[in-house]
Amino acid sequence: MKPLLRNEQGQRIDRFGRAMDFETFSKAIKAVRVLAKDSTSGKDELYLEAPASSNVVDRMGDRIMLSAQKQMESAARGMTIFLNHEYDVPEDVAGSCDESYLRAAADEADGIFDLWVKTKINQQNPRAVKTWELIEAGAKLGYSIGGALLEYEFVQDDEKRNARAGWMPPADITGIDLYEISIVGIPANQRAIIDDVVKGLSLKTGLSRPETKAQLKQREIQKKLLEQGITFAPEAGDDKSIAEIAADADAEKQKADKEKADDKNFAGEQDMPEDRKAVEDGSAVVEVAAADDADKDAAAKLEADAAAARNVQETSAVATKAPGDELAEPTVKKLYKCMKSLSKAMDHGTCATADKHVKSANDVLLSLIPAGYADPEPDQDDKSADDITIKLCADTSELQAQLKTLQEQLDALKSENEQVSLKRSEAQAALVTTKAEHDALNVALEEKRKEADDLDARLTQLKAYPLGHKTKAAIGGSYSGSGSTVDPERRKSETEADLKVELRSRLAGIPEDPRSRQTASL
């Protein structure tokens, strides 16, 4: 059986130290074997049956009322049943709730009802079957439920139940949101074994019953103030800002300075003269108000004195620490509010928010120091710490400036690198284009070379032809009108010249190379 772990506030925690939002209670389970084949496993169906809840008063003074029992009865039907409040699937699935119902106990006259739950065992899980076998063999295991409170009422006038309760009064629970049901190794006792069903539960509506971290810190502050003999009750719903609290503290300091101007008022009304008491209780103001119009100036002065006296009387409690008073320290009250805001900032706020609250709290503390007070023994360590802090701040500022400069240089280098990369890409693209053009020119040059070779072959053939009628016909010769023929040598020379001109024109535009120069020299 796993022990129930709890934190300092009495809340149940898991094995990782995290607070759980539900508690458990149980009663012994009995094993039932039904001689009917399970459609899935082909074996006899196995069931567990026992009360999962009861409306008796538990050992902490709490009681789950019948209305909450009915809510759980409806919610339990078809719900998955787990083992030991562990939720790993499938090894922690014990089965499912086949039936849930309310049954009156033997002492029905007392209105005691139990919520019975019948679980069909998941026989495909060996752990679930083993649990059933243990119960059948006589092991005293129990159901345990977990849920969240929806509705409840504190019970203040029941001495027996209050005697059982812890730091919170007992409660009658009228509404529960059922989360889950587990089979656990809690030994059965009587029906009243209900182990703190409401302790540690979180509320869906209203305030949470367990104390929050901020509330615990507030209680610590109150405890320290009580040890110093200071008692007060913070006003509920007071949501003044820290700036307003600091302003109020300054006003309280001014009132305290005015109070110290009149030493007699520190002792109370016993040492006051009768005429001053009349000013304090306001009777002198009433008498002055009824005086003749000729004495209006004097009446105004007396009224101002009465208002000042009332202010002194209101702030006299600052120096007179009365433990029995409900609110004897207005300035300490402001300090308390400031510390409360600081706790919230430390828990949930940002660093800037926390720094603001710390400064405001420091201002409130400074307001408590009398005017003109000087520390007879100044702490050199504080001064050294301040100097170190100032130096660190200066070094930090310098480093930040250097970091900014380096960042700017890095950005400039990145921009320059991007430009170089762009130019490189453009050059690579131009190189590819130039290479393609060069390949095309090489192809054209090769074609021109072939044509030149063909012309050379024709010239060679022409040079080999003998002079005569056929040669003349081959070179396009003709007779003149006088019947004489053109000089064959001249005709041949002209034909060669024409072929050279044609060859040069065809080779025009092709890049010059040694072969083209040889061809042009033909």
DSSP string, 75-133: HHTTPEEEETTB--TTTTEEEEEEEEEEEE-TTGGGT-EEEEEEEEE-TTSHHHHHHHH
Task: Tell me how far apart the alpha carbons of residues 25 and 31 are, in angstroms, rounded to a whole number.
Answer: 19
Q: How many helices (H) and strands (E) does the chain have?
A: 14, 10
Average pLDDT score over residue span 306-322: 47
Give the residue among 8, 294, 28 at the shortest CA–CA distance from 138. Answer: 28
Cis check for the bond before 90: say yes or no (omega within 30 of 0): yes
Per residue in 442-498, pLDDT (tens digit) is 898 898 888 888 888 888 877 776 555 555 555 554 444 444 445 666 666 777 777
Is residue 76 very low, low, confident or very high in pLDDT (cuts 50, 70, 90)?
very high
Q: How far is CA 88 from CA 121, 231, 270, 331, in A?
A: 17, 51, 75, 55
Q: What is the pLDDT of residue 470?
A: 56
Q: Select the more confidently predicted residue: 8 or 439.
A: 439
Q: What is the pLDDT of residue 343?
A: 59
Residue with tokens 């023929």: 485
Q: What is the pLDDT of residue 316?
A: 43
Q: What is the pLDDT of residue 426?
A: 92
Average pLDDT score over residue span 23-46: 59
Give the residue among 32, 196, 26 at the shortest CA–CA distance from 121. Answer: 32
Whether 97 contacts 76, CB under 8 Å: yes
Q: What is the pLDDT of residue 111?
A: 73
Q: What is the pLDDT of residue 113?
A: 84
461: exposed, middle or buried (Cβ count in 10 Å: 0-12, 13-18, 19+): exposed
Per residue in 148-165, pLDDT (tens digit) is 878 888 887 776 666 555
Q: What is the pLDDT of residue 56?
A: 79
Beta bridge partners of 118: 49, 99
Q: What is the pLDDT of residue 500?
A: 74
Q: What one-character-per-residue DSSP string does 175-211 give?
A: EEEEEEEEEE-PPP-STT----SSTTPPBSSS--SSP
Task: Tell me how far apart the alpha carbons of residues 234 and 206 are, in angstroms, rounded to a whole number.
Answer: 20
Q: What is the pLDDT of residue 120?
A: 92
Is residue 317 very low, low, confident or very high in pLDDT (cuts 50, 70, 90)?
very low
Q: What is the pLDDT of residue 200?
A: 29
Give the residue among 195, 145, 168 at the shortest CA–CA distance from 3. Answer: 195
pLDDT > 70: percent of the chain: 41
The secondary structure element, H or E, covering residue 432 is helix 380-464
Q: Select the more confidently predicted residue: 202 or 504.
A: 504
Sort strands 171-184 and 80-83 into parallel, antiparallel or unpaired.
Answer: parallel
Indicate the range of 4-13, 316-325, 440-449 predicted with least confidence: 316-325
Task: Tell me the two tokens of residue 161.
Answer: 């139940």
Q: Name, of 85-89, 205-209, 463-467, 514-518, the range with top average pLDDT.
A: 85-89
Q: What is the pLDDT of residue 197?
A: 31
Is residue 369 very low, low, confident or very high in pLDDT (cuts 50, 70, 90)?
low
Q: What is the pLDDT of residue 156?
A: 72
The secondary structure element, H or E, covering residue 399 is helix 380-464
DSSP assignment letter at 20: P
**What is residue 62's three-state secondary structure?**
coil
Task: Tell me the two tokens of residue 30.
Answer: 């009995």
Average pLDDT score over residue span 392-420: 88
Average pLDDT score over residue span 293-304: 52
Q: What is the pLDDT of residue 320?
A: 42
Q: Name, of 201-215, 261-275, 378-392, 506-520, the range with top average pLDDT.
A: 378-392
Q: What is the pLDDT of residue 501?
A: 75
In whole angstroms, how large is the CA radius of gyration of the chain? 53
Indicate the range of 215-229, 287-301, 368-382 predicted with least confidence: 287-301
Q: How far is CA 86 from CA 118, 122, 183, 200, in A?
A: 20, 16, 10, 18
Residue with tokens 């149940």: 12
Task: Tell me how far apart the alpha carbons of residues 34 and 14 are, in angstroms, rounded to a whole number.
Answer: 36
Q: What is the pLDDT of residue 125?
A: 94
Per residue in 472-485, pLDDT (tens digit) is 555 554 444 444 44
Task: Tell me how far apart the alpha carbons of residues 296 and 302 are, in angstroms, rounded to a whole number.
Answer: 10
Per residue in 77-125, pLDDT (tens digit) is 999 999 988 888 889 999 999 999 998 876 555 678 888 889 999 999 9
Whether 184 contacts 24, CB under 8 Å: yes
pLDDT > 90: percent of the chain: 13
Per residue in 134-151, pLDDT (tens digit) is 888 888 888 888 878 788
Single-letter amino acid, residue 414: K
Average pLDDT score over residue span 34-39: 53
Q: What is the pLDDT of residue 270?
A: 41
Q: Select the more confidently predicted residue: 42 or 53.
A: 53
Residues 6+ apart with CB under 8 A from 194: 25, 26, 53, 54, 56, 58, 59, 62, 64
Indicate the range of 33-42, 112-121, 416-425 predicted with least confidence: 33-42
Q: Is pLDDT at 201 greater than 50 in this prediction?
A: no
Sort strands 44-54 and 113-121 into parallel, antiparallel or unpaired.
Answer: antiparallel
Residue with tokens 């800002």: 241
Q: What is the pLDDT of residue 107?
A: 54
Q: What is the pLDDT of residue 154?
A: 82
Average pLDDT score over residue span 176-201: 54
